[in-house]
A and B are shown apart, each in its own frame.
Chain A
């Protein structure tokens, strides 16, 4: 079948590029700690300017401290007090670090 071979070679090249590209992306995001992906259900990127504050660019220590204050009831909340009680300090820190790393990894415009 004419053209089949070159088409096949092109496809192979493309897939090779994809394989390399995929390898550079997959491992970093695959390490998202338990629960980390849930945050974005309510917390939008900063650019969206929603009433629910964005977590983009938030220092790790500030997220950990806020979650601790939500958990103890020290900081009043509507729903975060109930959610924070489902996460330990260690889990919160891992999530905060992942969120922070995600921001740094995001390409700058």
Chain B
């Protein structure tokens, strides 16, 4: 294999960002001067906004499939902090550094990474404006902004409340804050997790978190209690979680469903009190996971609908609202696929294949996608849910007869194997995307 730097040298002779932007300007000047159109086909421009599992995977997949396509990744953070396994960090089982990845691997693959926020998108001009005022032109744009938290969704909740009552739903400082609060809590304390209604990032996440916090409490602060206030009556892998809680943490976890008054209707941050329709729950540690919507840039690009999420074509992931813009990962809604890192990675690869076809003037092929989500109930106790998906009636539909959850009666060795596979999956996917 030629060295990545070598191939980058051929395509973009050591372009700094300024040079790249200059190059783009020169490109449009060339078009205006009537330069042969073949140049445009030889090196199509793809801009990707968002460097998480979806955006970074898509950039890698494009470069892998067609190194002649110029890929610019727009991501403000110089370091990505991955959410999967961050519940282990909260429970003191893992360091946050194990969650953190840089973008040098993407650069080595010939991707131009621009650490800027996207401030504007002009779909008609096919142009992205960055916060510092520079502009990037594109032939196609991929929007992969993940989720934003809806600070306005619960009365009393706000962006400043998260210091007292962390969400820890975007991994990083919030993850460490929740961990420190648990460490500081006295034995006998009450931990409350407020879980939102669907759809939201990582459907089994709140329950994995409850499990691993329970593991911490059982081993370190056994007189404590954990209450989940839920805006739902059902949740992902529910029977498996509940069976495991009964087996591993009897009496420690209490799940309050929507029907039993679990929906949090108001928050009183000064006393860490969560108000529900049926009563008030005071917490020593309160982890409020608020409702979510697609990351803000989705609205800026005009690809989010009134639900706050982005409807897409299930074959190409092209926005239903803006031609030429594709949406992948947690921000997209297109049927049955859950909002997971695995799904984001799979959608990114399928979208990359469609993009290469579209940019090369070929019809995109129908994809088939897989999702596998592992959850840890304890460090050596893993459970999973899987699904296979295909486009059907304009949506991504589950392939019938496939998928499902781990068996309820699995042996401890199967649970241990699934915990090991979860770890293997994380190392594999982060290797594929960031190494």
Contact = CB atoms under 8 A, between A and B. Distances in A.
B370 A25 contact: no
A3 interface: no
Interface size range on B against A: 35 or more
Contact of B368 (A29, A48, A91): A91
Interface in B8-38: 10-11, 13, 26, 30, 38
A69 interface: no
B392 interface: no
Interface residues of A, number: 41
Contacts of A79: 372, 384, 386, 406, 418, 421
Interface centre among A19, A30, A41 (most CB of B within 10 A): A41
B353 A30 contact: yes
A85 B420 CA distance: 23
B47 to A, nearest CB: 18
A83 B403 contact: yes
Contact of B68 (A19, A78, A82, A107): A19
B431 A44 contact: yes
Nearest to A54: B428
B111 interface: no
A15 B42 contact: yes
Contacts of A14: 10-11, 13
Contacts of B366: 34
Given A11-B26, A14-B10, A22-B42, A34 B365 contact: yes
A26 B26 CA distance: 26
Interface string B323-347: 0000000000000000000100110
Interface centre among A8, A12, A22 (most CB of B within 10 A): A22
Contacts of A107: 1
B66 interface: yes
A78 B420 CA distance: 11
Nearest to A37: B349
A16 B42 contact: yes
Nearest to B403: A82
B67 A22 contact: yes
A78 B417 contact: yes
Nearest to B36: A12
Contacts of A52: 421, 424-425, 428
A21 interface: yes
B402 A86 contact: yes
Main SS class of interface, B: helix
Contacts of B66: 22, 25-26, 29-30
Given A48-B428, A78-B384, A86-B403, A34 B368 contact: yes
A2 interface: no
Nearest to B417: A78
A39 to B, nearest CB: 8
B10 A37 contact: no
B268 interface: no
Contacts, number: 151
Given A12-B39, A82-B402, A107-B1, A30 B370 contact: no
A91 B390 CA distance: 13
Interface string B55-80: 00000010011111100000000000
A30 B364 CA distance: 9
B261 interface: no
A48 B55 CA distance: 23
B426 to A, nearest CB: 10
A83 B420 CA distance: 18
Contacts of A22: 42, 66-69
B275 to A, nearest CB: 40
Given A34-B365, A79-B421, A85 B402 contact: yes
Contacts of B370: 35, 38, 41, 83, 86
Interface in A65-109: 78-79, 82-87, 91, 106-107
B372 A19 contact: no
B345 A41 contact: yes
B401 interface: yes
Given A83-B403, A86-B370, A50 B424 contact: yes
Contact of B418 (A34, A78, A87): A78
Interface centre among A16, A17, A86 (most CB of B within 10 A): A86
10 contacts: A16-B42, A19-B38, A21-B67, A22-B69, A30-B360, A37-B61, A37-B353, A41-B370, A78-B406, A79-B384
Given A14-B11, A34-B368, A35-B369, 10 more contacts: A18-B42, A19-B41, A22-B42, A25-B65, A25-B68, A26-B68, A37-B353, A41-B429, A42-B424, A79-B406
